[in-house]
Amino acid sequence: MSQQYRSRPLGSDVALSEAYDTALLDLDGVVYAGGHAIVHAVESLGSAREGGMHLAYVTNNALRTPDAVAEHLTELGVPADATDVITSAQAVARLMADQLPSGTRVLVVGGEGLRVALRERGLVPVESADDDPVAVVQGFGGPDLPWGRFAEAAYAISRGAVWFASNTDLTIPGARGIAPGNGAAVEVVRIATGAEPQVAGKPLPPMHRETVLRTGAKRPLVVGDRLDTDIEGAFNGGVDSLLVLTGVTDAAQLIAAEPRYRPTYVDRDLRGLLTEQPEVSEDGDGFRCGGWTAGVRGEVLVLDGEGDAIDGLRALCAAAWTHAGEGACGLDARKAVARLDL
């Protein structure tokens, strides 16, 4: 972009699966939720792959190993190998190995994904603060992670261990709704110790570095459902992004987004990979997309017209982002969003 901030979603006159060589896909909230495939995900990814797009799965969830993730994807109908999966466990393990010698003992607060990633980098997982760990690494451990694991982390950090975290996502989408994520667990240890962890996962550079190293992508498109990890990570890495509305981000949050959270493209679900993206154009004092026109009247966002609700959302984003400039949009968008029924 020639400007310092994105003022509207972009259009594309070819399908995104043709415009980009690799889709860097988030998993939770994009491909599946609570272990079950999200509607249209399996068919859309199959069509994109058959068309020549490389699919890579990039997740902040450090619980499972790449092998386990690939097996799950294959069971859902999305064939994948372990080499197609990049996790924040791998990113944090590389970050740690860059600072710690091989054979260093590391207290693990999390799941098997972290342990496998550490061993891959020559680090030794241990379970207790009394095992003399030099470092602590914390990643999502699932709903059954014992509270005592946080105490072990606090003991080790208080004794001088260096603290790392795979990611700091406060929430994670599931089949029954939104649940606390690893970021919430990191806050528990932060409060207990007053320490600050080194973090590897999206949206930070270590995760982008890990992804590029493992995929070799030349024209990547980040595909995600979260503004503060997926989209911000793409922004930090200088690559384009597609936000899908199948996870944690809703229309109001997207409209209010400040520049680092504004995606290149917006679509309802992964079918957006297979289609052209409509242009959002200026229309008088407002913006038009499809059959919708959006603008600002006083301190209120307004929306007129009819048609595909996603086109209306694209128009609203253009009006809101242009009005907000380099800040976050504080305009009242409630009535406009309600018209879309997303």
Closest Cα to residue 314, out of 265, 276, 271, 273? 265
Q: Say how many residues make up the chain.
A: 342
* CB-neighbour burial class of residue 306 (10 A; exposed 0-12, middle 13-18, buried 19+): exposed
Residue type, position 266, single letter: V
Q: Which of 21, 26, 225, 240 is catalytic?
A: 26
Catalytic residue among 13, 28, 285, 311: 28
CA 254 to CA 317: how far, in whole Å? 7
Separation between Cα atoms, residue 270 and residue 118, nearest integer Å: 33
Q: Is 341 labeled as catalytic in the residue annotation?
A: no
In this structure, which amino acid lies at residue 268? R
| Alpha helix stretches (DSSP H) within the chain | 16-19, 41-50, 66-76, 88-97, 112-120, 148-158, 182-193, 205-215, 232-237, 251-255, 309-324, 334-340
Task: Tell me the C-alpha to C-alpha distance, in Å, between residue 34 and each of 37, 121, 174, 212, 226.
Answer: 8, 30, 4, 27, 16
For residue 146, give the amino acid letter: P
| 26 noted as active-site residue | yes
DSSP assignment, residue 5?
Answer: S
Cα 335 from Cα 306, distance rounded (Å): 14
Catalytic residues: 26, 28
